[in-house]
């Protein structure tokens, strides 16, 4: 996209960034949470931190092209465990070369330079935490005092908001139910290296791994294929899909017992499978959650890909 920003004057927009494993999205966002303009580029995760930060700066320059606008702040949601108080990556999967230890906030500040107003805050958090903040600000969790947002796609991520604020925890892990020990997953290895965690069976990759472990058709290569095979009546696919979804419901019951959130919001690609996933997931939650938690609403997210950008922007505006 090109053209002028129109009404905005200097310091009236923030840059929101969503750094994912395959693509990086960035948007200019005004004080009313309106995404004025969005740009996307491939994330050069394997090339190291400098390449990832350079992509962010390139997107910012494209978004501001032809404008004298300066950024009032920057909000970033990124893959990996993040120390949100310093804007530094604590740990990450191998997809991102040398990402752990990267001072993202400092590097982005240096890369954006004169595009920032003086003392513009740069707020970095985990991408699912940003997603949770987005759904809380304007989406399925709006108005809830506390919410657990769980993203189920290739992995399982989560963000926890209590009293309207993101809860990070002592080790930046609060809410991450992907690594809850989960019955029925002991034969599957989690990306963290351990066996039996929720992500190992409940993620899209986990669902497919479970399908293969049950002797499923090797020509089915991913969770989408498992869902299609299940819809065609393949008994192994039906079992794998149902048990993968039930593992999520069981873990949500456990998480709800600790956190007692007002709402639970589920996002990501796997829930889009539809009733074949939601029905066993909700049944498992109902089977395992104590009576007082049975009425906890478990809702689909509504903002989709915009949620992390909206949450990142909200965090930047709050810091200004
Ligand atoms: Zn794990």
CA of residue 92 to ligand 1 center, whole Å = 12
Q: How far is the CA of 298 from the centre of ligand 1 (A)?
A: 23
CB 240 within 8 A of CB 227: no
Q: Can you give the CATH number for the domain in which 175 is found?
A: 3.30.420.40
Confidence of residue 66 (pLDDT cuts 50, 70, 90): confident
Range(s) of the domain holding residue 157: 140-300
Tokens standing for residue 295 = 């009425």
- Spatial distance between the Cα atoms of 1 and 63, rounded to a whole number of angstroms: 8
pLDDT in tens, 135-189: 999 999 999 999 999 999 989 999 999 998 899 999 999 989 999 999 999 999 9
Q: Quick one: pLDDT band at residue 21, thresholds 50, 70, 90?
A: confident
According to DSSP, the residues that pair with 286 across neighbouring strands are none
Within-domain flag for 63: yes
Say if residue 144 is in the same domain as residue 92.
no
Q: Count the residues in the chain.
A: 320
CA 69 to ligand 1 centroid distance, Å: 43
Question: If you measure from the C-alpha of residue 31 to the centroid of ligand 1, how many angstroms do you get, rounded to a whole number?
Answer: 38
Are the C-beta atoms of 259 and 148 separated by less than 8 Å? yes
Pair 159, 114 in one domain = no
This prediction's pTM: 0.90
Centre of ligand 1 from the C-alpha of residue 254, in Å? 16
- Same domain (yes/no): 69, 92: yes
- What percentage of residues in the chain have a pLDDT greater than 70? 97
Same domain as 115, residue 167: no
pLDDT confidence of residue 95: 85
Alpha-carbon gap, residue 72 to 15, rounded angstroms = 8
CB 314 within 8 A of CB 11: no
> How much distance in Å is there from the Cα of 173 to the middle of ligand 1?
12
Q: Are residues 158 and 294 in the same domain?
A: yes
C-alpha–C-alpha distance, residues 284 and 239, integer Å: 14
Domains: count for the chain: 2
Residues 86 and 172 in one domain: no
> Does residue 30 belong to any structural domain of this protein?
yes
Domain match, 99 and 202 both? no
Distance (angstroms) between ligand 1 centre and the Cα of 139 equals: 28
Domain annotation covers residue 184? yes
How far the first Cα of the chain sits from its last, in Å, is 27
100 and 190: one domain?
no
Are 117 and 228 in a shared domain? no
Helix, strand, coil tally for the chain in percent (to 5): 40, 20, 35
Cα of 181 from ligand 1 centre, angstroms: 8
Distance 191 CA to ligand 1 centre (A): 6
148 and 115 part of one domain? no
């Amino acid at each position: 996209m090109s053209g002028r920003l129109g009404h905005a004057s200097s310091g009236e927009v923030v840059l929101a960034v969503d750094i994912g494993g395959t693509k990086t999205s960035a948007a200019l966002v005004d004080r009313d949470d309106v995404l004025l303009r969005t740009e996307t580029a491939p994330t050069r995760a394997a090339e190291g931190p400098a390449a990832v930060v350079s992509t962010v700066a390139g997107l910012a320059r494209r978004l501001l092209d032809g404008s004298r606008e300066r950024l009032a702040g920057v909000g970033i949601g990124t893959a990996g465990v993040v120390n949100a108080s310093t804007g530094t990556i604590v740990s990450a999967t191998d997809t991102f070369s040398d990402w752990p230890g990267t001072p993202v906030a400092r590097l982005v500040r240096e890369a954006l330079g004169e595009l920032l107003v003086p003392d513009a805050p740069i707020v970095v958090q985990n991408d699912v935490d940003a997603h949770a903040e987005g759904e809380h600000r304007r989406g399925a969790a709006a108005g809830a005092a506390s919410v657990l947002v769980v993203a189920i796609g290739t992995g399982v991520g989560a963000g926890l908001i209590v009293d309207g604020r993101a809860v990070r925890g002592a080790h930046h892990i609060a809410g991450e139910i992907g690594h809850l020990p989960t019955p029925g997953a002991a034969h599957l290895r989690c990306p963290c290296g351990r066996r039996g965690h929720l992500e190992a069976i409940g993620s899209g990759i986990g669902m497919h791994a479970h399908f293969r472990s049950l002797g499923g058709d090797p020509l089915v290569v991913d969770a989408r294929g498992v869902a299609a095979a299940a819809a065609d009546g393949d008994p192994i696919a039906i079992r794998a899909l149902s048990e993968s979804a039930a593992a999520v419901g069981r873990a949500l019951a456990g998480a709800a017992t600790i956190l007692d959130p007002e709402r639970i919001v589920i996002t990501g690609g796997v829930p889009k499978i539809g009733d074949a996933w939601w029905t066993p997931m909700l049944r498992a939650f109902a089977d395992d959650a104590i009576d007082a938690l049975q009425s906890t609403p478990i809702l689909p997210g509504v903002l989709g890909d915009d949620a992390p950008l909206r949450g990142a922007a909200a965090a930047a505006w709050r810091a200004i």
